[in-house]
A = this chain, B = another copy of it.
Amino acid sequence: MTIPDVDALAEQVPDGALLALPPDYSFVPMALIRALIRRGVKDLHVLAVPISGMAADLLIGAGCVRLMEAAAVSLGEAGLAPSFTRAVQDGSLKMRDSTCPAIHTALQASEKGVPFMPLGGIIGSDIVKYRDDWKVVDDPMGAGNGKILLLPAIKPDVALVHAPLADKYGNVWVGKRHELFTIAHAAKTTLATYEEIHDGDLTADPVLAAGTIPAMYISATAQVREGAKPLGLAGCYPIDMDHIRAYAKEARSQEGFDAYLKREVLGRQAEAAS
């Protein structure tokens, strides 16, 4: 058995997959995103949980995305996500607008194996108007609670995560970033890169277990040091804002994006473990 690397993991994401991505502040596997682009993945339905930035913008700019579903796509302090903005404005990307708790809730529905889940608020937002998969109903309990929004479950084909720690059993430690628990529970499978190997069983450690996604939800792991860069990994390294700002500027044109892609993604043939 060879030790899987990031490119081997990228092979496990089929074209057309419903792919769940964590938000920029939450352990995004950027090296794996770059490997996905190198592998030439196509027609993705990308679900941001619930927002995305660099990861979604790179995939969109590289032409890998058929449908983007998110509460927002943004580079945060660095401003608008340039490829996303351009692709929506020129009509080349189909955007399915949502709102943060709706995405969390739809994943919780898959986590529980129920076909839908209710959520308060939102009624009257134009988001509802353009979501024909959502449904506003009169309180189905008949308890006089008025109208409520029902959201169908979202079951990602693949979820991606980069973690500070993993162990040889395939358990992955993500600390308090419990949205990654929910994503992993909801998704058919999860692929994880990680910084460091933990010596022992993460689920057997009474302190680390509280932040560990058990191996039963994870189909493959690969060690990739600095695997979230240029984004940050809380407790390990900060976000490289100079890089993000430079990207935001360079990628304002497709030519600029292509230059970035060639230099920073396609040019990095192998992102090694060390």
Residue ranges of A at the interface with B (Cβ–Cβ < 8 Å): 105, 108, 112-120, 135, 137, 139-143, 145, 148, 150, 152, 175-176, 178, 206-212, 234-235
Q: With contacts A115-B143, A175-B209, A206-B234 known, what are 11 further pairs, Cβ within 8 A?
A: A112-B120, A114-B120, A116-B140, A135-B140, A135-B142, A141-B152, A175-B207, A176-B210, A176-B212, A207-B207, A210-B211
One complex includes copies of this chain to the number of 2
* Complexed CA–CA distance, A122 and B112 (Å): 14
Residues of B within 8 A of A235 (CB): 206
* Complexed CA–CA distance, A33 and B260 (Å): 63
A-B contact list, 22 entries, CB within 8 Å: A112-B119, A112-B120, A113-B120, A114-B118, A114-B148, A115-B118, A115-B141, A115-B143, A115-B145, A115-B148, A116-B140, A116-B141, A135-B142, A141-B152, A175-B209, A175-B210, A176-B209, A206-B235, A207-B208, A207-B211, A210-B211, A211-B211
Rounded to whole Å, the gap between the CB of A178 and the closest CB of chain B is 8
